[in-house]
Chains A and B, each alone.
Chain A
Amino acid sequence: MSIKKFVVGLYDDEAPLFDAVKQIRKEGFKIHDVYTPYPVHGMDKALGLRETSLHTAGFIYGMTGTTIALSFMSWVFTTNWPLNIGGKPHFPLPSLIPITFEFTVMCAAVGMVLTFCYLCKFAPFVRKHHFHERATDDKFVVVIECTSDSTEADATATLAKLGAAEINTQIAESEWWFGTYDKEEKKYTEQDLVKAAH
């Protein structure tokens, strides 16, 4: 991830945060992220985030689990090592169902947890920049990313207008990870830094 310039606004409560987020987006700023001490209901919608695809991933993991469990067990019991268990048929489908079910649940659960960790860049050796330490305690933090369209002064003025308790500017690398986090290719360049300073 590249180094970018951020304007950070601090709020004491979630109610003004909602209005602020909506207004900031309306004025055309790019919100890098919002950091809150707990999950705020409806914030994803206010931020305009798209619906997560995590459940689709979960379904695919689950189907993978079902397929693996059923095909492996049927291969073992019919081809690899057929055993006569209590006179049951060699392909005793009902008795395979509980294991298939458990394996499906396990694949879906473990797969979704790992995918979630990947999407949130939640792993060892990931460096994350803390915009405000009290976002983990009792404050609500909005982070606006400065782009070529939005200067630091504009963002600061807007946050001040929207009643942020504390505003500051940080030049930081928000995080680093193998994959791509930002889909946006346009990075904040040195020229922008110079331009923003003037």
Chain B
Amino acid sequence: MATYSNTFEQSAGNKKWGTILTGIGILTLLAGIGLLGFSGDEHSKTRFWAGLLQNSVYFLLVVNAAMFFLCATTLGFAGFTISFRRVAEAISTLVPVFGVLALVVLLAIVFTDQTHIYHWMDTVTRENDKIILGKSGFLSKPFFVIWTIVAVGGWTIFGAKMRKISREADDTAMDTETAKKWLFKNSVHASLFIVCFGLTVASTIPWFWLMSIDAHWYSTMYSWYVFASTFVAGMALIALYIIYLKNQGHLPFTTKEHLHDIGKFMFAFSIFWTYLWFSQFMLIWYANIPEETEYFRIRMHGEYRGLFWLNLILNFVTPFLLLMKANAKRNYTIVTFAAVVIIFGHWLDFYLMVAPSTMKAHGSIGWFEIGVAIGYVGLIILLVGRGLSKSPLVPMHHPLLKESIIHHT
């Protein structure tokens, strides 16, 4: 019989690859600062900030989705997550790091290079533009900055609290009364995070960070669309790490039943994402009002045409067909492949949210965008590995652990 270790030690290969990929990211960033950020060319400057914005926001929201998944399942008293919840917790330890990186990028955009990304920040534009003037109550620099800091701080603080409570299930067994109280404490803090999440990721934050790039345009689906995009990528990341740890001989209680459920999340939320994508698209297409269709005109007709349809193929058709069968969701190879496609596909989705509006016809996915993304992947490898090694992989005294062990679908 195989013996399982409840502690994860970051292997040399894991560290090596994490460091190499992070190094590539840092080199790309330095080259980007030199070649794009400080170049005289306006397009290059825009590309620099757009690439950073896309990557920092995307990866921050993806790792944040792991904590949302934990809190939502905690509130629903879902027992099946317990055997692998430390994986999601380890992923969520990246929120402070990626949060600071995103803050740096966003604040740099606000305070140094306002007009390349957010044209509503330009004082002259604001005073002469009736539409932006009408939105100035919301689209104001102080509000943007304060709310961004509050959001990142909120995710960090409430997430850290959830992880801290989770650690209490490691060493000492709980009797029934203590377990009830402890689960209630979990629920209270999970709901605090959910409220914070609802007021930020599910509403205001995508409006500020992404939708306000096209300050004239708006869509009521947008925040949910962004949420669905990052949530499905977050689930894909959790699936990847579960498979990685299983292959390393960890997580004895996490079986194909659990992977099946994660696969269902990936499958269902890919469809949910498509549903939102289509709802946003069809209403605008049907109403055919010029200020609304502008958003899709630039994406559907022109340089982004191929990526626009590739986005749908990667994020809808591929997971839909790949993960449809029950056995596919239990197959390590298929789930790994689907997860990689989903994570890349939604990165592309974020590219399509940022690049066409900022760079117009001059956008392209090149060394800078990909290099920064590789850096982020390296950081994920390094920091999730570190997060996993910080605590036991299974909370052995969690009151719902048995439910997770006997779980089957």
Contact = CB atoms under 8 A, between A and B. Distances in A.
Interface of A: 41-42, 51, 55, 59, 86-88, 94-95, 97-98
A97 B408 contact: no
A94 B326 contact: no
Contacts of A41: 408
A88 B286 CA distance: 8
B326 A55 contact: yes
Interface string B93-119: 000000000000000000000000000
Contacts, number: 21
A97 B312 CA distance: 15
B281 interface: yes
A94 B324 contact: no
Contacts of A88: 286
Given A41-B408, A55-B326, A59-B324, A98 B282 contact: yes
Nearest to B286: A95
B5 interface: no
Nearest to B285: A94
Nearest to B275: A101
A42 B407 CA distance: 11
21 contacts: A41-B408, A42-B408, A51-B326, A55-B325, A55-B326, A59-B324, A86-B286, A86-B288, A87-B288, A88-B286, A94-B278, A94-B281, A94-B282, A94-B285, A94-B286, A95-B282, A95-B285, A95-B286, A97-B278, A97-B282, A98-B282
Contacts of A51: 326
Contacts of A97: 278, 282
B50 to A, nearest CB: 28
A70 to B, nearest CB: 15
A59 B408 CA distance: 24
A88 B285 CA distance: 10
Most chain B CB atoms below 10 A, which of A88, A94, A97: A94
Nearest to B406: A41
Nearest to B325: A55
Interface string B267-289: 00000000000100110011010
Contacts of B281: 94
Interface string B305-334: 000000000000000000011100000000
Given A94-B286, A95-B286, A97-B282, 10 more contacts: A41-B408, A42-B408, A51-B326, A59-B324, A88-B286, A94-B281, A94-B282, A94-B285, A97-B278, A98-B282
A97 B283 CA distance: 12
Contacts of B282: 94-95, 97-98
B287 to A, nearest CB: 9
Nearest to A45: B408
A105 to B, nearest CB: 12
B291 to A, nearest CB: 18
B355 to A, nearest CB: 23
B299 to A, nearest CB: 14
A41 B288 CA distance: 52
Nearest to A42: B408
A190 B36 CA distance: 92
Contacts of B325: 55
Nearest to A55: B326
Nearest to A41: B408
A87 B408 CA distance: 53
B224 to A, nearest CB: 18
Contacts of B288: 86-87
Q: Which 3 A-B pairs have the closest CB atoms?
A: A94-B282, A94-B285, A95-B286
